[in-house]
Amino acid sequence: MELAQLVDFEVQLHRDEASVRAGGEPDLRARDARIGAQITAEFGSTATEAAAQVHADREFRARVATAWLRQMEAEDRSGRDHTARALRRAALILTLALLVVGALTARGALAYDGKEPVNVFVFLGLLVVPQIALLVLLAWATLRGGRGMLGGAITALSQVRLLGGSSTATLGAVGARLSLHAGVERWFTFALAQRAAVAFNVGALATCLALVSLTDLAFCWSTTLQLAAEHVHTACRGIAAPWSWFAPDAVPSASLVRDSQWVRMPGSFVAGGSLPDAVATSGRWWSFLVIALATWGLLPRGLALGLAAWQSRRAQRAVPFDDPRCHALFARLWPATPSWQGPSPSTISLPESERAKAHANSTPPAAVASGATWLLCWGHLARAREGLAQRVTRATGAPPLGVLAVGGANLADDDDAVRRLANAKADRVLLALAAGSQPTKDVLDLLRVLRQRLGPRARLSVALATDDATTQLANEELAGWRACLDRQADPYLALERLEAHA
């Protein structure tokens, strides 16, 4: 994507962001989903492939951004001049202007009224030396890196208060965002300058050739400084060094330099000589000047233009298109299709048949049978042991033979309770748990140990205790307990009901 397109891209992203803030996201989503479908059709891929590739492939992101911008511009009926078009026009105008300036400069440098020959110093000073200096300066500025000129100019423009509020905001945001594309921007500016310079040189060169061909020019060298012809000759040889090996005739000879020095007073060549000599002498400079302009003006600019084009393409290829705004756009183009993936239920759970069996037994538990019993209070019920003992007394007609705490933080309490029950040869034990407690292996372990220590005929029962009479136990809660106790295959292990109001 070229710089001009990047500017348009950034402007459009900024507008979209403003639209999202104003609540227009659904419209943007619909628009971009449509464009996304057009792009996938154009690329011959699917939305899923595009959504995956856009995260992984920078080149693909660049293609998508370009295609999106093209679609946006195709849909834009506002008649607004896009940056790409504007920059192209500006570049053309600049090129043409420099072409004309080059021609006019050459015309000025070669101005000859038949009285005073053209001073080659003026020609070189206007058309060759400044160009070399400018080229060196621009190359230094470009290679130095840093912020490009265009982004800076846009940011500066955004400070102009005469522009509308939204315009300055857009310019400011886009100017700031262009720092992301500093490489592209720098080489674009460099290329633009080189193109203009090439035009300038072409204009100048064409004018030179035209004037040489169509008019009668006479050249000389002249300066107020006390400059010896030998020094001028040395300088000319230096300038002509690049072509002296293949165009020796275009290198001014020492005699030519000596013979073509001009003095204003009295207005003649220093060497004097006849008119034919003067004509021949002054005419021999033109090939040197034309080749000097081509070599030191046009050629470096042409090479610089080639370098700029190459570097510009490299910089364009390096634009990552991976900042959050780009990803927001890609997400709108191809909304990620969410899905959940999990295991097959049968591989992770109890078989359906076993679960069905548990639900089949829905007989409500019997009330706690009469007769003295030991009471074990599981977990937090140990704190309510007195109230629970009263309930058991009411239910069985006799106070508990003993009340012990189990299922607490200290495992030693469980061992202690089992030991006491074994020592007392307990033949009936009621394990009370709070409603909501689950038949964990921890609870079932205790029942198993009790069975081992108290013998196969000791009556063990489990009761779920609610906090008050108004709270009812859910059938499925009881069914879960019953299923777990049934699995113990213990005929003297029962689930009983311990009513709060009993």
Partner 1 sequence: MSEAQSSPAPATSLVPTFVVVGNVNQGKSSIVATLAEDPGVPIDPMPGTTLKAAEYAFRASGEVVFRVIDTPGFQRARHALAWMQERARTPAERPRAVAEFVRAHAHDAAFVDEIRLLQPILQGGSHIYVVDASAHFEPSSEAEMEILRWTGQPGMALLNRTRERDFSAEWRPVLAQFFHVVREFNAHRATFHDRVELLRAFRAVRDEWRAPMDRALTVMAAEWESRGQRAAAAISDLAIRALTHVERRELRDGDDKDATRKALDQTFGDALRGFEKSTRTEIERLYGHPQIDRQEDGLTLLDADLLSDESFRAFGLTRGQLAKHGLLWGGAAGLALDLMVGGLSGFAGMAIGAGLGAVTGFIGTTQLTRVWSESSKLSKLLFPGVTGRFLALGPITNPNFAWVLLDRALLHARVVRDRSHARQDALDLREKAGVAATLPSNLRADLDAALRAAVSDALQGTPKTATHARLTQAIARALAG
- State the residues that interact with partner 1 by CB under 8 A: 26, 29, 48, 51-52, 55, 331, 334-343, 345, 347-350, 355, 358-359, 379-380, 407-409, 411, 434-442, 445, 467, 471, 474, 476-477, 479-480, 483-484
Which residue's CB is nearer to partner 1, number 11 or number 493? 493
Question: Of the candidates 261, 267, 253, which has an alpha carbon nearest to the alpha carbon of residue 222?
Answer: 261
Which residue's CB is nearer to partner 1, number 26 or number 114? 26
Q: What is the rounded CA–CA span in Å between residue 497 and residue 433? A: 11
- DSSP type of residue 358: H
Q: Is 496 helix (H, G, I), strand (E, B) or coil?
A: strand
Which residue's CB is nearer to partner 1, number 230 or number 467? 467
Q: Shortest approach of partner 1 to residue 33 CB, angstroms?
A: 9
Q: What is the rounded CA–CA span in Å between residue 66 and residue 21? A: 25
Q: Which long-range contacts link 471-477 to residues 24+ away (Cβ below 8 Å)?
A: 471/435, 471/500, 473/435, 475/362, 475/364, 476/359, 477/435, 477/436
Residues in CB range of 359: below 8 A, 6 or more apart: 476, 479
Which residue's CB is nearer to partner 1, number 55 or number 85? 55
Residue 430 near residue 376 (C-beta atoms within 8 A): yes
Q: Shortest approach of partner 1 to residue 502 CB, angstroms?
A: 19
Q: Shortest approach of partner 1 to residue 473 CB, angstroms?
A: 9
Residues in CB range of 145: below 8 A, 6 or more apart: 182, 186
List the alpha helices (DSSP H) in 3-119. 3-21, 25-43, 47-56, 58-75, 83-109
Q: Shortest approach of partner 1 to residue 383 CB, angstroms?
A: 10
Q: What is the rounded CA–CA span in Å between residue 205 and residue 127? A: 10
Q: Shortest approach of partner 1 to residue 43 CB, angstroms?
A: 16
Question: Of the candidates 77, 84, 271, 91, which has an alpha carbon nearest to the alpha carbon of residue 189?
Answer: 91
Which residue's CB is nearer to partner 1, number 169 or number 444? 444
Residue in this structure with the two tokens 């080489």, named with its chain if needed: 187
Which residue's CB is nearer to partner 1, number 157 or number 434? 434
Q: Can you read off the two tokens belonging to residue 280?
A: 């021949």
Which residue's CB is nearer to partner 1, number 276 or number 343? 343
Q: Shortest approach of partner 1 to residue 442 CB, angstroms?
A: 5
Tell me how far the alpha carbon of residue 501 is from its chain's centroid: 69
239-262 burial, b for 16+ CB within 10 Å, e for fewer? bbeebeeeeeebbbeeebbbbbbb
Which residue's CB is nearer to partner 1, number 93 or number 336? 336
Which residue's CB is nearer to partner 1, number 104 or number 474? 474
Burial class of 68 by CB neighbour count within 10 A (0 to 12, 13 to 18, 19+): buried
Q: Shortest approach of partner 1 to residue 423 CB, angstroms?
A: 24
